[in-house]
């Protein structure tokens, strides 16, 4: 290559934080998952094919009768009537929240971004479950976070381990981030006993607790457990309409005590001025017209059925050496394969055979998890789940045989 | 107050950058401008009351026929067909851009936020026009930017002054940020000669140039001038549908060379995963169905008429000591009042009399501009423009009389 060729003339201009912003090798592979002939067990996509004619009158109201308002700027904090509806929704889960304490965001992802921007200086620590949501890791990494990871089991985060770790840390972490229900990607749900214990531990160590609850309403078996926010008003709470209505509208929210909420609101103004009026009004009308209850019932039925189909398929097609989560809700399964496998390397073969999954290592900040995969049945029908798991089973078994044949 | 009352228990937890994120005293006053009986000459709101029945078939297609796709997640970079349409739109303004180089953002504001996140370390300098867009200042401030401001006149930024300043700086700035057409808030348009000169100067000093062009298509008199991006492919270009279609859909874009665009894409993934599919598809259909050309024509007619009405009203009602911009497009007027006036203080009185404007100091990073105001006729009808300017004229004259009476 001639020395005159400059690959990036501005290579020395970027902010330091960009070195922590992850270039995911997986992302390029995942772009393939958009192709229609791929069975995408990868994305966290919910089912959106069930609206039929329900949105027709709303569409007309928003884009014809009320277009002048819908197509205009809105308040940075979000429409007050939608914030009131969010409070009603949270009340159904035992939380008492004032609309003033709610900030509407572009999905819960934007709330994660804002927590990073408002709370994290270079090198600050965030405590997370292991594994934890890759989108949260990326948002916090983009503000140069360090991570402390706490082991989890079928009952969620090990709170004794958390207590000990918090006691050992020289500098306290900025916050503890947990997904208590049907965790992404692990599938575990934090037990009732541990919820109370978690509140006690963060209060004892005076650490901010962030609860991310996108899947809480999507429970298809077992008993509903109280949210952390319902146990303690100082918990920072993230909600979203992405999984219970639509991710395509990008409407989520964050509830935080006034001083933090003010700073989050400044972040919102700098980030994008305000959320889309059209999307906010669409969500508002969907709830106002009583469409949510029957929709949620339908979703739970769908996910319950798909969970069962996937569990059966895994049992049939995955090797005896594999284990996987048995979640009571949501739409993720976390599968652990023999530890000598590298699921990032294996992805190319699976994609060549038209099946996509997410390799486990993305859900750890430190390269662990390479033997695990996350599977989603959110937007995949029964036949494709069976077919996808069957193909994946073959790929895994092939890799295992290859490993065995190379051992000496 | 009892010492037990903690105003903010977490006061020591916030990131350092939050101290630069502006708490605008004006924001609280401006919240009042939402009230229906206020004549809002304040916001940068475009006219959105002209769609009539045009969106009805699109609404049905998006939320009934195609709901499953519209309500789903989309690609982080944005829908490729919309990116292609953006390239067509830019081609109409003489710019040759590939869809791969376009990143869809939540309005152009999100592109400003990303430029801050990706390019600015604490203390880095951004060169701006004086005055400049308050939303850009806030986005860059939130990444702890320093500013160098360059004087402007009716032909835009003084490029000789820029050249000199760039030569004097010990550490080069990260980028130069300009709004060449109908500048917000100053109203000036960068002359053709200075456009070429600006390109030469930034190339000479090897500095990134960022062109923000929300109003370029809204020219109602004079000749269209080439965009900076059409003169040099290395210019980073920000566009938006907010002013030419709708701000309520929050769809903008940024065009940047590949390496920078990749980092902006990582910022997008951390910030909100992807932009709203519904909004992207709505914009796409609006253009695909040929609705843009007649709509733009209508807008230009409307703004041209309102500009004339405002100019006449200013001449009639503002004191002889005031001066104001005479823009060839867009919908802002920048008025300078006697320098002893403080337009931030004056705002409360104007709001009490039901008229809102934006005080000038927000458009400077250093507290200057307190004698100026920004007026917008974007979403205000003729009668209300006349009435609003009449009331403002009275308020200003009252303040001037008060000042005279207190002089000794």
Query: Tokens in use for B153?
Result: 């006149």
Name the residue facing A266 among B21, B59, B71 (closest C-beta): B21
Name the residue facing A60 among B9, B56, B107 (closest C-beta): B56
Average pLDDT, chain B: 94
Name the residue facing B266 among A23, A71, A110 (closest C-beta): A23
C-beta separation of B20 from B141 below 8 A: yes
DSSP single-letter state for residue B79: -
Phi, psi of B286 (to 5 degrees): -55, -40
Beta strands B252-255 and B102-105 are antiparallel
Contact (CB<8Å) A142/B117: yes
Q: Scanning the structure block, which residue is given the tokens 């004892």?
A: A204
Is pLDDT above 60 for A1? no
- Using one digit for the tens of pLDDT, what is the confidence trace for B72-117? 999 999 999 999 999 999 999 999 999 999 999 999 999 999 999 9
- Using one digit for the tens of pLDDT, what is the confidence trace for A325-365? 998 999 999 999 999 999 999 999 999 999 999 999 999 99
Name the residue facing B246 among A13, A18, A71 (closest C-beta): A71
Contact (CB<8Å) B121/A8: no
Name the residue facing A247 among B34, B72, B257 (closest C-beta): B72
> What pLDDT was estimated at residue B2?
46
User: Best mutation site among A70, A273, A274 for testing chain B: the one with the most B CBs within 10 Å?
Assistant: A273
Instruction: Give the distance, in angstroms, between the CA of residue A302 and the centroid of all CA atoms in the same chain.
Output: 20
Rounded Cα distance, B168 and B151, in Å:
16
- For residue B401, give every residue at least 6 positions away whose Cβ sits within 8 Å of its Cβ, in sequence order, or none: none
Nearest-CA distance from B91 to chain A in Å? 25
Contact (CB<8Å) A72/B45: yes
Rounded Cα distance, A313 and A328, in Å:
17
> What pLDDT was estimated at residue B43?
84
Under the banding of pLDDT at 50, 70 and 90, the label for residue B307 is very high
C-beta separation of B176 from B127 below 8 A: yes
Rounded Cα distance, B221 and B212, in Å:
20
Nearest-CA distance from B307 to chain A in Å? 20
Contact (CB<8Å) B48/A72: yes
Nearest-CA distance from B213 to chain A in Å? 16
Average pLDDT over residues A294-319: 97
Contact (CB<8Å) B274/A60: no
Name the residue facing A279 among B17, B120, B279 (closest C-beta): B279
Rounded Cα distance, A371 and A322, in Å:
10
> What pLDDT was estimated at residue B186?
94
Contact (CB<8Å) A247/B60: no
Average pLDDT, chain A: 94
Is pLDDT above 50 for B118? yes
Rounded Cα distance, A188 and A182, in Å:
5
- Using one digit for the tens of pLDDT, what is the confidence trace for A97-121? 999 999 999 999 999 999 999 999 9
Cβ neighbours of B45 in A, within 8 Å: 72-73
C-beta separation of B116 from B139 below 8 A: yes
Of chain B, the percentage scoring pLDDT greater than 90 comes to: 91
- Using one digit for the tens of pLDDT, what is the confidence trace for B27-62? 666 666 667 899 999 988 999 999 999 999 999 999
Rounded Cα distance, A76 and A280, in Å:
12
pTM across the whole model? 0.96
- Using one digit for the tens of pLDDT, what is the confidence trace for B218-244? 999 999 999 999 999 999 999 999 999
Q: Which residue of A has its CA nearest to B243?
A: A72
User: Best mutation site among B45, B73, B114, B140 for testing chain A: the one with the most A CBs within 10 Å?
Assistant: B73
> What pLDDT was estimated at residue B36?
80
- Alpha carbon distances (Å) from A63 to A72, A248, B65, B277: 11, 17, 16, 16
- Which segments within B317-382 are labelled E, that is strand? 323-324, 332-336, 355-356, 358-359, 372-376
User: Best mutation site among B15, B100, B144 for testing chain A: the one with the most A CBs within 10 Å?
Assistant: B15
Name the residue facing B49 among A9, A60, A68 (closest C-beta): A68
Contact (CB<8Å) A119/B249: no
For domain A73-288, give its CATH number from 3.40.190.150, 3.30.70.980, 3.40.640.10, 3.40.50.300.
3.40.640.10
Average pLDDT over residues A57-69: 95
> What pLDDT was estimated at residue A22?
75
- CATH code linked to domain A16-50+294-406: 3.90.1150.10
Query: Is residue A375 reached through a cis peptide bond, with omega within 30 degrees of 0 on the bond before it?
Result: no
Residue B52, classified by CB atoms within 10 Å of its CB into exposed (0-12), middle (13-18) or buried (19+), is exposed
Name the residue facing B60 among A17, A56, A282 (closest C-beta): A56
Nearest-CA distance from B320 to chain A in Å? 35
CATH 3.40.640.10 domain extents, chain B: 73-288
> What pLDDT was estimated at residue B330?
96
How many beta-carbon contacts under 8 Å exist across A and B?
257
Cβ neighbours of A110 in B, within 8 Å: 271-272
CATH 3.90.1150.10 domain extents, chain A: 16-50+294-406
Of chain A, the percentage scoring pLDDT greater than 70 comes to: 95
Nearest-CA distance from A83 to chain B in Å? 16
User: Best mutation site among B114, B210, B250 for testing chain A: the one with the most A CBs within 10 Å?
Assistant: B250
Nearest-CA distance from B408 to chain A in Å? 43
Cβ neighbours of A56 in B, within 8 Å: 60, 63-64
Residue A260, classified by CB atoms within 10 Å of its CB into exposed (0-12), middle (13-18) or buried (19+), is buried
Cβ neighbours of A127 in B, within 8 Å: none
């Amino acid at each position: 290559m001639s020395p005159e060729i400059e690959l990036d003339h501005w290579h020395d201009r970027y902010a330091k934080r960009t070195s922590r912003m992850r270039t995911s090798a997986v992302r390029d592979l995942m772009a393939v998952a958009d192709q229609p002939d791929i069975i995408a067990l990868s994305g966290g996509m919910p089912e959106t094919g069930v609206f039929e004619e329900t949105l027709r009158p709303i569409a007309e109201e928003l884009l014809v009768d009320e277009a002048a308002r819908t197509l205009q700027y809105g308040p940075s904090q979000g429409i007050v009537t939608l914030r009131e509806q969010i409070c009603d929704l949270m009340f159904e889960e035992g939380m008492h929240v004032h609309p003033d304490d709610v900030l509407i965001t572009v999905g819960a992802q934007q709330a994660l971004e804002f927590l990073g921007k408002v709370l994290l200086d270079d090198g600050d620590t965030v405590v997370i479950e292991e594994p934890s949501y890759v989108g949260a890791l990326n948002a916090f990494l983009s503000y140069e976070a360090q991570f402390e990871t706490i082991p989890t089991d079928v009952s969620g985060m090990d709170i004794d381990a958390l207590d000990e770790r918090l006691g050992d840390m020289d500098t306290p972490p900025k916050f503890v981030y947990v997904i208590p229900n049907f965790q992404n990607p692990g599938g575990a749900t934090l037990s009732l006993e541990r919820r109370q214990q978690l509140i006690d531990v963060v209060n004892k160590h005076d650490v901010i607790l962030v609860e991310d609850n996108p899947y809480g309403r999507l429970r298809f078996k077992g008993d509903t457990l109280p949210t952390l926010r319902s146990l303690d008003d100082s918990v920072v709470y993230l909600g979203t309409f992405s999984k219970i209505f639509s991710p395509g509208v990008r409407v989520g929210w964050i509830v935080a005590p006034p001083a933090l909420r003010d700073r989050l609101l400044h972040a919102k103004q700098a980030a994008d001025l305000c959320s889309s009026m059209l999307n906010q009004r669409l969500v508002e009308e969907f709830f106002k017209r009583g469409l949510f209850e029957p929709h949620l019932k339908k979703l739970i039925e769908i996910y319950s059925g798909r969970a069962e189909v996937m569990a059966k398929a895994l049992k049939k097609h995955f090797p005896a050496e594999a284990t996987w989560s048995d979640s009571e809700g949501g739409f993720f399964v976390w599968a652990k394969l023999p530890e000598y496998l590298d699921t990032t390397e294996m992805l190319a073969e699976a994609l060549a055979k038209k099946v996509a999954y997410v390799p486990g290592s993305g859900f750890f900040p430190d390269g662990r998890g390479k033997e695990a995969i996350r599977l989603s049945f959110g937007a995949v029908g029964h036949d494709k789940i069976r077919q996808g798991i069957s193909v994946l089973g073959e790929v895994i078994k092939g890799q295992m045989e290859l490993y065995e044949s190379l051992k000496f």
